A and B are shown apart, each in its own frame.
Chain A
Amino acid sequence: LAKTTQPISMDSYEGQEVNITCSHNNIATNDYITWYQQFPSQGPRFIIQGYKTKVTNEVASLFIPADRKSSTLSLPRVSLSDTAVYYCLVVRWEGSQGNLIFGKGTKLSVKP
């Protein structure tokens, strides 16, 4: 099973770009990399998913190198409302057996 390792916490200021890196050394060929955001007392919210290279949507970019052993979530120009916990998941489905493991996540604090 591909476990993930992320920094426990990060600090940033409004307007800065924030990059959160996740390590997943044991990632397998069929695994996807997914990121979620969670605000206090709320359920997690899907941000972005990728398999390789770069994926971009309206809120973030995800960079995945060729060896796929790590990934970086990039949040452009953060605001105070981006203060949350960010989870990196490596998701694998094999038939009816699923493996979704949320690690402890990275607590991002955005300051004015």
Chain B
Amino acid sequence: DADVTQTPRNRITKTGKRIMLECSQTKGHDRMYWYRQDPGLGLRLIYYSFDVKDINKGEISDGYSVSRQAQAKFSLSLESAIPNQTALYFCATSDSPSYNEQFFGPGTRLTVL
């Protein structure tokens, strides 16, 4: 089984709908991250969490919210989806902060019509 899983893998929705993307990990890591990737661009950090009580905004947090339900689960929500949120979303985890090695999930492809 994969260490970092994301559900759903693909989602098509309409403008204005609320969407939740879920991430689960079995690596036992404290740190979790959400990124988005647009075609031809690198990844941009949306939110990150160092533990269940710690949530931090990343580079592009506007229009998104997150919930850290447990050490192993980190969810990303789009309260009212808009077309420019169409992208590939990745969840990642890491352990030691000084080593900076992050382990990524397989991604969720989200299309907002």
> A residues engaging B (CB < 8 A)?
32, 34, 41-46, 49, 87, 89, 91, 93, 96-98, 100-105
B104 contacts A44, C-beta separation under 8 Å? yes
Q: Is the CB of B101 within 8 A of A102?
A: no
Closest 7 CB pairs of A and B: A43-B104, A102-B42, A102-B43, A46-B101, A91-B100, A43-B90, A103-B42
Interface residues of B (CB under 8 A from A): 4, 33, 35, 40-45, 48, 50, 54, 56, 59, 88, 90, 92, 97-107
User: Contacts A44-B43, A103-B42, A104-B42 given: A96-B54 contact, CB under 8 Å?
Assistant: yes
Contact B40 A104 (CB under 8 A): yes
Contact status A98-B102, CB under 8 Å: no
Chain A hits for B106, CB < 8 A: 42-43
Other CB < 8 Å A-B pairs besides A89-B100, A102-B43, A105-B42, 13 of them? A42-B104, A44-B43, A44-B90, A44-B102, A49-B99, A49-B100, A91-B100, A96-B54, A98-B48, A98-B97, A100-B100, A100-B102, A104-B41
